[in-house]
Amino acid sequence: MDRELALEIVRVTELGALSSARWIGRGDKNAADDAATTAIRSMFDSVSIDGTVVIGEGEMDDAPMLYIGEKVGNQKGPSVDVAVDPLEGTEVVACGLHNAQSVIAIADKGSLLHAPDIYMEKLACGPELAGKLSLEDPVEVTLQKACLFSGKSLSELTVMVLDRKRHEQLIHSLREAGVRIKLLGHGDVAGAIAAALPDSDVDLYMGSGGAPEGVLAAAALKCLGGEMQGRLLPDGPLEQQRCVRMGISNPTRVLYMEDMVGTGDVLFAATGVTSGEFLNGVRFIGKERAETHSVIMRAQSRTIRYIRSIHFLPGKEIPDGLTVRQNVASL
């Protein structure tokens, strides 16, 4: 993929973030999501790709735009898979909390896992530990291996985990082992990425979160030289059938990087909506300007670029998401 695409993609996540940021703390997660989705969908038309959404807002029948299988881009560039979460952290924005982002990954056509919207157990780490750990090991063994290969002691190791009741046992084991824990409210794409960023103090990301978010994080980890392992957690036969329908014949086997991101040509972009692990959120400045913080990464070069943009708002069309809501409501 042309490296100039990176800038085109970050323009798309910037508009998604600017649109949903108007909904921070207003208690309406659907409006925040619709705003980001409308903005990202409209902005994609100008991007030079022949893209197909593989991770998006849902199945065609449930999502008016950015549905799985939808074609995006101006159809003039390379054929690519598109994984997009217009607003990763809908509840976060609704409640004005931390860690919401607009996120997109683009990779060679046919290379990204078509993950159903169910939970996935995840283990993510940076380059130092990539290839050294296994999701199938007990937590204690993973921690010992992490210490061995990072040179840190248990009390110096930091593990990030989503703060959820279902993680009670995991958090208990981590506390028993004596590692440092960072509990995350929401946004496990950012959490998993934090384990692989060179300037982060997080060594490991553990626990379950959304499977689509797992693929998005895996794309970023590919760019960072880190690793993500995942195991889908289908809850009952219906979710199992959904996995099989989406091409995953053994839904409970461990998925490795090559299963989730089967190419070395990947672009990942994210723009902060609210401030989080590594990006600041949108800040409105006066009546005409707004500031965004984004990261853009390419697997081929392993470059990590942080982009701070000051936007001139009167020159931009920023969807508020209301039109799409009215359309959906009248269906």
Helix (H) or strand (E) holding 13: helix 5-20
Contact present, 180 and 85 (Cβ < 8 Å): no
**Taking CB positions, which residue lies at the least distance from ligand FBP?**
209
Contact present, 187 and 276 (Cβ < 8 Å): yes
Select 102 or 111, whichever has its Cβ closest to ligand FBP.
102
Select 17 or 162, whichever has its Cβ closest to ligand FBP.
162
CB of 94 to ligand FBP, least distance (A): 9
Contacts 24+ apart (CB under 8 A), 126-131: 126/195, 126/196, 126/197, 126/198, 126/200, 126/203, 126/224, 126/225, 126/226, 127/196, 127/224, 127/225, 127/226, 129/203, 129/204, 129/227, 130/225, 130/226, 130/227, 131/227
Q: In whole angstroms, how far apart are CA 256 and each of 85, 218, 297, 321? A: 21, 9, 20, 36
Nearest to 33 by CA among 62, 7, 74, 61: 62
Per the annotation, where are the binding residues? 33, 57, 85, 88, 213
CB of 34 to ligand FBP, least distance (A): 13
Select 121 or 188, whichever has its Cβ closest to ligand FBP.
188
Select 90 or 271, whichever has its Cβ closest to ligand FBP.
90
Residues that bind ligand FBP (CB under 6 A): 87-91, 162, 164, 186-189, 209-210, 213
Select 147 or 195, whichever has its Cβ closest to ligand FBP.
195
SS3 string, 259-305, reads HHECCCCEEEEEEECCCCCCCCCCEEECCCEEEEEEEEEECCCCCEE
Contact present, 87 and 36 (Cβ < 8 Å): yes
Contact present, 172 and 165 (Cβ < 8 Å): no
Per the annotation, where are the binding residues for Mn(2+)? 33, 57, 85, 88, 213
Select 98 or 222, whichever has its Cβ closest to ligand FBP.
98
Select 89 or 251, whichever has its Cβ closest to ligand FBP.
89
CB of 112 to ligand FBP, least distance (A): 17
CB of 209 to ligand FBP, least distance (A): 3
Exposure of 94 by Cβ count < 10 A (0-12 exposed, 13-18 middle, 19+ buried)?
buried
Contact present, 103 and 189 (Cβ < 8 Å): yes
